[in-house]
Amino acid sequence: MSVPVSAQEGLAGFTAVIDVYEHRVGHACRAVASHIPALLESFPSSGGTVLDNACGTGAASEELLKRFPAAEIFAADAVAPMVHSFKAIIATKPELQRQVKEVRVEDAQSLTFADDTFDASITNFGIFFLPSPAAGAKQIYRTLKPGGTAVVTLWKTFGFKPILWEIQDQLKPVNPLTELPLMEPWCDSALLEKTLKEGGFKHVDFTVVKEGLWGKDKEDFKLVLLENLGALTARNWTEEERAKLPAMISQVIDEQMDKFCITDGAKVGCIMEAWVAVATK
C-alpha cells in the first residue's frame, strides 16, 4: 500500500531536486507550455498582462512571449530557489528582461496582486502542489480581469508508470507503490474541473496534449527514469530495494525498450499526456 504524501512534502521534494528539474521533468512541462499560447484566443495581440502562477523556472513565460512578444508578465512561485533560477534566466535573455515586469516569492493560495489585474493566468503543473487547490483556484479567478482566461495544466498519463510497475513486478518490494504519490488523483480531469469551479469559474474546457519525457539517448533516459522513480519510491521502498533501482531500470529498458519507449532520432523517451484546462472569468 502506498504511503500518503502531503502537498507540503511534494513541494519540499520539488525544492530538493531543483538542480535536476529540467533534466528530470522540466523539459516535458516546457513542451506542454508551448501549446498554451494558441489556446489564449481572446488575449490582446497588442499586449496584455499575464500571471505566470507557480512559475517554476519560467517556461510558460518564455513560451507565451514567442507568440505574444508584447505581453507584460508577472510571475510568482512559493519556492524561492525557483524564483532565483527564473531571475537568473531572465538576466541572460533580453526579451525576458523587457517583458517580465516582476518575479516574486509568493504563495499561489494567497496572492497579493489586486483584483481584476490579468488578461491571462497560467498555472503550469503547479496546482496539485497546493495544500488547498481550491484556494489557489479562487486566487486565479480573483486576479483575472472579467473576460480573462485561466489556463491550468496537469498530467493525464505518465509514460514511466508502466516501467515502474514492471520493475515492481520483478523486484517485489515489501511495500510497493499502488499509485503515484500526490499526482494520481489529478489524472482525472473531473477533479481539476471541480476545483476550478469551486474557485468561481462557471465552465471549463479541456484539451489533451501529448509530449515526451526524453533522454538524449538510451543511457540518458535511464538517468531521467532514475531521477523520477528514485523520488517516487523514496517513501515506500527500503534502502536495500532502492539500491537495486538503477540496475533494474537498465535491465528493463535494455530488454523491453520497444514495449515501453519511444524514439526520435537518437533520443529515447516515453509518452506523457497532459490535461490543459481553459476557463474564462
What is the per-residue pLDDT across 114-150, written as a single tens digit (0 to 9) for each? 999 999 999 999 999 999 999 999 999 999 999 999 9
Contact yes or no for 186/154 (Cβ under 8 A): yes
Contact yes or no for 211/28 (Cβ under 8 A): yes
Residue 20, pLDDT score: 72
CA gap 46, 136 in Å, rounded: 29
Helical ranges in the chain per DSSP H: 7-16, 21, 27-33, 59-67, 80-90, 94-99, 133-143, 161-171, 189-199, 218-232, 239-243, 245-260
Residues of the chain under the 70 pLDDT cut: 1-19
Chain-centre distance of CA 229, in angstroms?
16
Residue 158, pLDDT score: 96
C-alpha cell at 122: 497560467
Say which CATH superfamily domain 7-157+181-214+272-280 falls into.
Vaccinia Virus protein VP39 (3.40.50.150)
Contact yes or no for 173/248 (Cβ under 8 A): no
Distances (CA, A) of 264 to 33, 188, 211, 267: 20, 29, 12, 5
CA gap 128, 186 in Å, rounded: 7
* Terminal CA-CA length for the chain: 41
CA gap 55, 82 in Å, rounded: 8
Residue 267, pLDDT score: 97
Residue 24, pLDDT score: 86
CA gap 243, 226 in Å, rounded: 11
pTM of the prediction?
0.90
Nearest to 166, CA basis, from 103, 260, 269: 260
Residue 226, pLDDT score: 97
Coil/strand/helix, residue 101 = strand
Nearest to 78, CA basis, from 51, 62, 56: 56
Coil/strand/helix, residue 262 = strand
